[in-house]
Amino acid sequence: MNPARAPIARELFAQWQRARGGRMEPAARPFTRDWEDLLKDAGLASAAERNEAEQDALALAADGWLELKPVRYKPHLIARLVLPLSAEVRWSEAFGFVPPTDEEARRVREFPWVPELAFLREAKVNLPFDELRQLNDFLQEGGEWELVPIKERSLQIFGDEKRLDLLTDSALFRDGRLSLAQLRCEVVAEPLAWKRGPAAANGQPVIVLENAATWHSYDCWNQVTAQFSAVIYGGGNRFVDGVGFLAEIFRELGGPRPVFYFGDLDVAGLAIPQRASQRAQGLGLPLVRPHLWSYRQLLSFGADLGHLSEDGLSLADPVLCLWLEEIAPSAQALLAKRRRLAQEHLGWEFLRTQPQF
């Protein structure tokens, strides 16, 4: 199986690249990622996407691309993915990141690059000369290019609509080097799925739900209780990239309004709305605030059987919890016990008994 075709593998490779900083020297330890964190980072939130990701991971493990570490006492569940040291070169080749030959390295050093690529004479980016030359040709052509989606520009330059997406995580786009702005393109986030509330909720706030099942249940509940003018599906980390789509939703609703968020009570679930809120501020959109009623109800269930990953715990947890205002201490106590609470605890069977908060 080619890992470049699997979304979960593309995310794993991108994170490996960032962790390695574009170096090709042998590492001391293999790169490893928590399975649930990787799914969220890749924006694979729906049951169908998660199932496909699991099948891809099993196929890649069978072909020797990676190793799977099971959940303790639950060998049918994946806990972590490991990119073995012995497979790093193979992964780099699959994604088109290989050390240049001596001849190619000489050509890179001696080529008269345009100013935007002059750093290539000194830097090691592990990309073929011909590919770098394609970038140079585009920049040399100049002209008043329109700002377009990254995939359109990628197709124009490389004949491959996905190539620039991979390159943006490489040493080529490190700070002070090449930028998407110089290529006159931008990443276009996926639109946020949403459902309008009933007419009685026209002036009410909107709420964003992290996962698909809870989004569906909250929408059903809202049709009866009319608490929100829109119920929006955040899709995990997709909300961070797609928070700008709130402007479109506001236009449909007739103007901006408060934005509430409800997600899993774990480190990743708390980081997503806060990162999205920072980005929203930069776009002139309202802050993303916690829907405290929902989080209070979730905390009332107590810790479930799931454990936070080791990667998920850090000294930053108390800061993340401050976003939850007066219930921050309860959330921090939960995380301190290495526990998490899935938002699906507040399912339809619970919500249908709640007239409104």
**CATH number for the domain that contains residue 63:** 1.10.10
305 and 209 in a common domain: yes
Q: How far apart are CA 260 and CA 278, in angstroms?
A: 14
CA max distance for the chain: 72
304 and 217 in a common domain: yes
Q: Is residue 247 part of a domain?
A: yes
Q: Could you report the per-residue pLDDT of 137-157, keeping only the tens digit for each?
A: 999 998 789 999 999 999 999
Query: 151: which 2 tokens?
Result: 């995939």
201 and 315 in a common domain: yes
CATH number at residue 199: 3.40.1360.10
Give me the number of domains the chain comprises.
3
180 and 218 in a common domain: no
Calculate the average pLDDT of the chain. Answer: 89
- Does residue 97 contact residue 126 with C-beta atoms inside 8 Å? yes
- Choice among 60-69, 182-191, 290-299 with the minimum mean pLDDT: 182-191
The radius of gyration of the chain's CA atoms, rounded to the nearest angstrom, is 23
Strand ranges (DSSP E) for 201-251? 206-209, 230-233
Residue 161 confidence class, pLDDT cut points 50, 70, 90? very high
Residue 311 confidence class, pLDDT cut points 50, 70, 90? very low
Q: Is residue 356 part of a domain?
A: no
Q: Which of 68, 94, 120 is the last residue of a domain?
A: 94
Q: Could you report the per-residue pLDDT of 94-107, keeping only the tens digit for each?
A: 998 888 888 988 99
What is the amino acid identity at position 347?
A: G
181 and 197 in a common domain: no
Mean of pLDDT values over 300-318: 58
pLDDT exceeds cutoff 50 at 312: no
Question: What is the residue range of 281's domain?
Answer: 193-351
